[in-house]
Every structure is written in C-alpha cells, then in structure tokens.
C-alpha cells in the first residue's frame, strides 16, 4: 500500500513479492491458480495491442494502493476474504482479461474488470465526501452501493463504468501497425451511449424505497467524446431522447430493444423516477472527480 513507482523491468517479480503478503492481491485479484498464467503472459511483451495488467501498470506508476485499498476496506477482514463476499464478484475481480488471445476481446473484458473495480473505488470515494457505506452488491446488497449522509436517509447508487469504445480501440490497433487509422466519428455516439447507461442504471434502481442516483464513471481517455455535449447541454433532461440516427447507433439500439422493448417510449419516465445522474471523470491514478450532477426527478415537467 506504500510502494512507489518502480522500474517496469522488475515489476512482475516485485508484484509477486507484494502478492505474497497482500490479501487483496492473493485472495482476490491474483489468486495462486491464476498467477503462473499471469506471470508467463507478462514475461513476453504484447506486440498486438501493448496490453499490460492494470495492477502491474499501477505498481510501475506508483498508485497500486488505489486498486488494493478498497479491497482491504470492504472485502477483507482479519487478513482473509469476508465470508459474505459474493463468489461471482470475486470471480469478476480476478485480473485474467489479458489471457484472451484476441486483442479486441481482451479490450472488452478489461472494461468489465475495470467496471467491477470502479464500484469499490466509488464506495471509497463517497466516504471521502462524508457518505457512509451501508451496503454493497459485493456483500449481497440489492444495488451496487447503498450509502447515507449525516442527514440520515439511505441512497442507492448504480455505477456504470464507461471506457474506450471498440471503434476507437480498433483505430489504435491499426495505427500501431501503421495502417490507415482515421475514420468518421459520430459527434452523437458518446452522449447517446451515456444517456443509455443512465437509463440502464435507472431501470436497476426502480423499486428502491429511498433516494436513487445513477453514477456514470467516464475514463479520462474517452472523456473527449462527452465533454462538449455535456458542457453545451445537448440532452434536454426534461424530455430526453437519442440524437441523430447513424447506422452504428441504430444497430446498437436494435440490439438493446431486445432487452428493453419500450426503451425510447419510457426514457423520460424512467429517468424522471430517479433523483440524479452523477457524471464522474476518472483521471490518472484512479482519481475520481464529480463533473456534473444532473437533477432528474425535478427535470420532468409537472
């Protein structure tokens, strides 16, 4: 928890040393049955996508504690994994995403891993803002996070982590092989996707007896897709709708309608049933910054 930045030529061995005395690494992120594969993969550089473990990069850059402290805080007790931690949650937190042979699949699986980590980091971040965590999905609560302020009432949070989109990642892959990597980028895809993820969180919050907040965590590398639309208010939160209708977005919506057949028709009512959407930016070193607090319940017309 106190180790600083280290040489990347030594990092695999040092991570193993730390793992031997750190329950967060040994019991959750890198258990014994995973370590040989993890170590072997990192001994040979990834030439296709330059992928490296998030834990390893954090160690090399001096902020490994930003990944391990929430595990110690919420999932470890007396040096052991708490007995009430959900097995699926622990499975999702094992950092094995890089073992997939397909770079794009690795990218997708890394986003899922980062999303699980974000839930616990958000819990820790809330406690720095004078909230008290009263429940976690990891410990069998009904929602990702449940917390209360000094004023009393409990608020439920659903956390949605937003990383680099597949199209952007594929452009990066092409540029690494010196292939043509440019292409059209929809100005609306980012804000449409954010709106969908807030809707998805609002659906999950339905039925909670108390305040409800959708918390969207946007990674710094993809913030550029959201900055202008959020700053200039492209979404009318009193009457939200998806913007434009480019082919890629239409395909995405068609797929999501299989799960949410009333998606566009109930967008305003579902969002209007929660109190707020917080748009949080995750910067270097896993630092969290509340950029926008969108009041939704009061946004609906009376």
Per-residue pLDDT for 179 more than 70?
Answer: no
Give dist(CA 248, CA 250) in Å, integer.
5
297 occurs within a structural domain: yes
4-13, 73-82, 102-111, 266-275: least confidently modelled range:
4-13
Q: State the total domains in the chain.
A: 2
| Domain co-membership, 174 together with 243 | yes
133 occurs within a structural domain: no
What is the average pLDDT score of the chain? 88
273 occurs within a structural domain: yes
141 occurs within a structural domain: no
85 occurs within a structural domain: yes
| Domain co-membership, 81 together with 175 | no
Question: What pLDDT, in 10s, does the model give residues 238-261?
Answer: 899 999 877 888 888 999 999 999
Confirm if 198 and 259 have CB atoms less than 8 A apart: no
Give dist(CA 85, CA 171) in Å, integer.
39
| Domain co-membership, 249 together with 173 | yes
| Domain co-membership, 122 together with 162 | no
86 occurs within a structural domain: yes
Span 79-86, mean pLDDT? 94
Confidence class for position 185, pLDDT limits 50, 70, 90: low
| Domain co-membership, 299 together with 190 | yes
Per-residue pLDDT for 52 more than 90?
Answer: no
| Domain co-membership, 160 together with 299 | yes
Domain endpoint, select from 113, 128, 143 = 128
DSSP-derived secondary structure for 63-87? -THHHHHHHHHHTEETTEE-TTS-H
146 occurs within a structural domain: no
| Domain co-membership, 50 together with 161 | no
34 occurs within a structural domain: yes
| Domain co-membership, 286 together with 228 | yes
| Domain co-membership, 97 together with 190 | no
Confidence class for position 302, pLDDT limits 50, 70, 90: very low
pLDDT value at residue 169:
45
| Structural domain boundaries, residue 2 | 1-128
| Domain co-membership, 124 together with 174 | no
Domain endpoint, select from 93, 128, 163 = 128
Q: Considering the chain, what percentage of its residues have pLDDT values greater than 90?
A: 69
Matching residue, tokens 């959020």: 230
143-147, 173-177, 239-243: least confidently modelled range:
173-177
| Domain co-membership, 116 together with 216 | no
| Domain co-membership, 204 together with 108 | no
């Amino acid at each position: 928890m106190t180790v600083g930045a280290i040489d990347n030529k030594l990092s695999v061995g040092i991570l193993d040393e730390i793992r031997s005395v750190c329950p967060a690494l040994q019991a959750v992120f890198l258990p014994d049955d995973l370590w040989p594969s993890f170590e072997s993969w990192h001994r040979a550089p990834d030439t296709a996508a330059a992928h490296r473990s998030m834990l390893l990069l954090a160690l090399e850059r001096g902020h490994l504690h930003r990944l391990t402290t929430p595990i110690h805080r919420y999932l470890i007790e007396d040096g052991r994994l708490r007995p009430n931690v959900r097995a699926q949650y622990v499975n999702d937190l094992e950092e094995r995403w890089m073992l997939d042979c397909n770079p794009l699949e690795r990218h997708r699986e890394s986003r899922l891993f980062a999303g699980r980590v974000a839930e616990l980091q958000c819990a820790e971040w809330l406690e720095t803002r004078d909230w008290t965590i009263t429940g976690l999905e990891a410990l069998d609560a009904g929602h990702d996070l449940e917390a209360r302020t000094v004023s009393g009432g409990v608020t439920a949070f659903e956390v949605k982590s937003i990383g680099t989109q597949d199209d952007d990642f594929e452009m990066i892959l092409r540029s690494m092989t010196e292939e043509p990597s440019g292409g059209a980028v929809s100005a609306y895809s980012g804000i449409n996707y954010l709106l969908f993820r807030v809707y998805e969180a609002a659906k999950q919050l339905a039925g909670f007896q108390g305040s409800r907040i959708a918390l969207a965590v946007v990674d710094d590398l993809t913030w550029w897709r959201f900055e202008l639309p959020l700053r200039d208010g492209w979404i009318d939160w009193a009457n939200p709708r998806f913007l434009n209708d480019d082919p890629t977005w239409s395909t995405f919506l068609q797929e999501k309608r299989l799960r949410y057949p009333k998606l566009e028709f109930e967008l305003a009512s579902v969002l209007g049933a929660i109190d707020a959407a917080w748009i949080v930016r995750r910067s270097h070193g896993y630092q969290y910054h509340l950029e926008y607090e969108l009041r939704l319940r009061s946004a609906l017309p009376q």
